[in-house]
Amino acid sequence: MNSQLRNFARQTLKASFPRLPVAHISMFKRMYSHGNPDADINTVIDMLPDDRLDWAMQQVQQSIEKLTNVPKAKEGLSVDDLEFLRELRDRLKDGLDRQDRSQIEYAQQMIDDWIDELEER
């Protein structure tokens, strides 16, 4: 993973965590803070080994999917969530090398689907 992708992954993780419930953040800290569950989430992300960034992003993605695919969670999404998803989509459009275009397009499609769902409400 090149430095641009590492930086993008860390920035995306940092932007994603405020949208997750405390239980998800606590679990992430237990897994990656090396025995310091009270560490700041941004510090934990900064210290995350490069070879775990992809896995961490997948975990966050799955958490967000679970939260948005459960009807009760969908009802709890707000305009702030919609704005967050739009910003994340735009960052994906601007953020990565062409060699990673298929991953970007997949992520963009997923985010576009979430945005469409929220706008339909």
- What are 100's two structure tokens? 């990673």
**Domain interval for residue 63:** 3-120
pLDDT tens column, 103-120? 566 666 777 777 777 777
Do residues 17 and 25 make contact, with C-beta atoms less than 8 angstroms apart?
A: yes
pLDDT tens column, 19-56? 778 888 888 888 888 888 888 999 999 999 998 888 88
The model carries a pTM of 0.54
Report the domain count for the chain. 1
pLDDT tens column, 63-110? 877 776 644 444 555 656 677 777 777 666 665 544 455 556 666 677
